[in-house]
């Protein structure tokens, strides 16, 4: 029986979700705030988390961040009241697996929950490496040998994307679309500025950068054999 942690401060919605999931044979655990949810996630086995974003006290994004930091790798479905794309993108970048915009139908929620649970144990690829760099995709950390390199969220996304495409040229168009979700970025030198800043953080002084420039096109992290 899958244990589902529901974090929601609207009491009626929380009750409905709890009862609905229990009827479907899930084992719901509930919390109306982030602090209590974190405690549950750290001390009890949880198979899936349904997380509202607008919570009293800790915001849902912060709850998600702390859950991922503490190594919780189970699927997280975020509930957002906002119709803007920002929260969804931010949530997915921040380690959420899926999102639902309120108001949603219960059938839709149930379908998402089942789909996430079917995916089974955490994504198989939890680590990437390139040269002496290691990326922990679950906790979103980067190490060179054993030393952690602090990166911003976007720097991490950028590096992870380049390393995932190791051995392939990644165009500026791809980066604008995947990392900035915006083609306007292409009109500026934002991408180049970001890549240069990232290089300064991850490369060793005096060594060739792990991120090569492909003139007129984009960037390349050489594959193991190139
Ligand atoms: Ca709320």
List pLDDT tens digits, range 28-65. Answer: 999 999 999 999 988 888 999 999 999 999 999 999 98
C-alpha of residue 7 to centroid of ligand 1, in Å? 9
C-alpha of residue 19 to centroid of ligand 1, in Å? 18
Q: What is the model's pLDDT at position 123?
A: 47
Task: Spell out which residues have Cβ within 5 A of ligand 1, the ion.
Answer: 9, 52, 54
C-alpha of residue 88 to centroid of ligand 1, in Å? 15
140 Cβ contact partners less than 8 Å away, ≥ 6 residues apart = 68, 95, 153, 156
pTM of the complete model: 0.55
Looking at the predicted structure, is the pLDDT value of residue 121 above 60?
A: no
For 115-177, what is the HEC assignment?
HHHHCCCCCCCCEEEECCEEEECCCCEEEECCEECCCCHHHHHHHHHHHHCCCCEEEHHHHHH
State which of 72-86, 119-133, 151-165 shows the largest mean pLDDT.
151-165
pLDDT in tens, 148-194: 999 998 899 899 989 988 888 999 988 887 788 776 777 678 899 99
Contact 53, 79 (CB under 8 A): yes
User: In this prediction, what percent of the chain has a pLDDT beyond 70?
Assistant: 92
C-alpha of residue 152 to centroid of ligand 1, in Å? 27
């Amino acid at each position: 029986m899958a244990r589902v942690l529901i974090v929601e401060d609207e009491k009626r919605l929380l009750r409905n979700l709890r009862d609905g999931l229990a009827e479907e044979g899930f084992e719901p655990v509930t919390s109306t705030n982030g602090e209590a949810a974190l405690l549950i996630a750290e001390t009890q086995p949880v198979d899936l988390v349904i997380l509202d974003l607008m919570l009293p006290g800790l915001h849902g994004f912060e709850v998600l961040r702390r859950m991922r930091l503490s190594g919780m790798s189970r699927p997280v479905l975020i509930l957002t009241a906002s119709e803007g794309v920002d929260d969804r993108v931010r949530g997915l970048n921040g380690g959420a697996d899926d999102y639902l915009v309120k108001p949603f139908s219960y059938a839709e929620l149930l379908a998402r929950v089942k789909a996430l649970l079917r995916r089974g144990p955490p994504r198989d690829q939890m680590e990437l490496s390139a040269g002496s760099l290691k990326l922990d995709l679950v906790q979103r950390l980067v190490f060179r040998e054993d030393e952690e390199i602090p990166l911003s969220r976007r720097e991490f996304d950028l590096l992870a994307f380049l390393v995932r495409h190791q051995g392939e040229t990644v165009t500026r168009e791809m980066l604008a679309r995947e990392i900035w979700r915006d083609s306007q970025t292409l009109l500026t030198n934002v991408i180049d500025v970001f890549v240069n800043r990232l290089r300064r953080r991850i490369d060793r002084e005096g060594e060739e950068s792990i991120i090569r420039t492909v003139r007129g096109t984009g960037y390349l992290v050489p594959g193991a054999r190139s």
